Amino acid sequence: MNFDMSPYGAFIWPAYGVSVLALSVATIWTVCAWRRAKAKLAALENK
Amino acid sequence: MQFLFRYANPHNFMRLSGAVLPFTAIGAALALIAGLYFAFSVPPDYQQGTTVKILFIHVPAAIMAMVAYSSIAVCSLLSLVWRHPLSDTAARACAPLGAMFTVMGLITGALWGKPMWGTYWVWDARLTSFLLLLFIYLGYMALWSAIEDEIKAARAAAILALVGAVNIPIIKFSVEWWNTLHQGETITTGKLAAVYVPALLTMMLAYFLLFLTLWMIRIRTAIVERRARNLMQGAAS
């Protein structure tokens, strides 16, 4: 593997950074919403 | 069609998606690791230099943005024509993911354009139609939120989605129909150097599996939320 991006590192790393950030946020958000919804349903069913 | 209706039943969808989800999630993670390994192992392109690495995240994001919108359009058609029970939920759940891929495509494309074209943005047919896709996504999501009655909202959003679907072939063929700064088709025409193919295909697979995983979880969440709402309404009445 080669991590030397010169002379375009200033464009390549932000592009990968934005992609990793967007995919991570979407994954965490989706999983958290699922867990919240499941917990709410479980609480209502146990009432 | 029988197949679709069988799995459109929320109970069947929850069972099926529950069984499939671990495989798509693990597959996405493995493909992403392999794709990144390939992406950082390829040599620089003779014209683009190291910026070729941006294409391994830009192209899959742009393709997934269009795949997501096409999925919304198909779900909307199923909803309007056949009153498919889960299709509205599936279409609505897909929109934020599609919008996210569109933003990713626009940003990574701009970051590739600056060193290669000398500018982050040009108003050429491909870029403009792709920006329009983002506005359609935003309009679609806004419409869902703006109408309180869920049935009316679903119908209005489905019509908007089908009208907006006209933009998908425009994006796809814009590089052929007009003179654009954006390069023409490279993957299916065999113009892409063989050394870059494994990285691009693996990243495309990773993005597709991740999209599928997140979409299924979002549909499951919507089903569970609806059950919770029904329970609350039942308890209140």
Q: Which two tokens stand for residue B140?
A: 């679609």
pLDDT of residue A1: 83
pLDDT of residue B7: 63
Minimal Cβ distance to B221: which of A7, A26, A37: A37
pTM to 2 decimal places: 0.94
* Inter-chain residue contact B50 with A18, CB threshold 8 Å: no
3-state secondary structure string, chain B? CHHHHHHHCHHHHHHHHHHHHHHHHHHHHHHHHHHHHHHCCCCCECCCECCHHHHHHHHHHHHHHHHHHHHHHHHHHHHHHHCCCCHHHHHHHHHHHHHHHHHHHHHHHHHHHHHHHCCCCCCCHHHHHHHHHHHHHHHHHHHHHHCCCHHHHHHHHHHHHHHHCCHHHHHHHHHHHCCCCCCCCCCCCCCCCHHHHHHHHHHHHHHHHHHHHHHHHHHHHHHHHHHHHHHHHHHHC
Select from A4, A16, A38, A47 the residue whose CB has the most chain B CBs within 10 Å, as the one to mutate to test that interface.
A16
* Inter-chain residue contact A41 with B224, CB threshold 8 Å: yes
More confident residue, A35 or B180: A35
pLDDT of residue B9: 82
Question: What is the full DSSP assignment across chain A?
Answer: -----TTSHHHHHHHHHHHHHHHHHHHHHHHHHHHHHHHHHHHHHH-
pLDDT of residue B190: 75
Reported as a single tens digit per residue, the pLDDT across A10-19 is 999 999 999 9
Shortest alpha-carbon distance between residue B169 and chain A (Å): 25
* Inter-chain residue contact A19 with B108, CB threshold 8 Å: yes
- Digit-by-digit pLDDT tens for chain B (237 residues) are 666 666 678 889 999 999 999 999 999 999 999 999 999 999 999 989 999 999 999 999 999 999 999 999 999 999 999 887 799 999 999 999 999 999 999 999 999 999 999 999 999 999 999 999 999 999 999 999 999 998 999 999 999 999 999 999 999 999 999 888 888 877 777 788 899 999 999 999 999 999 999 999 999 999 999 999 988 887 777
Position B215, amino acid: W
pLDDT of residue B186: 79
pLDDT of residue B4: 63
Instruction: Give the nearest chain A residue to B52 (CA atoms).
Output: A12
Shortest alpha-carbon distance between residue B143 and chain A (Å): 21
Q: How confident is the model at residue A7 (pLDDT cuts 50, 70, 90)?
A: very high
pLDDT of residue B6: 65
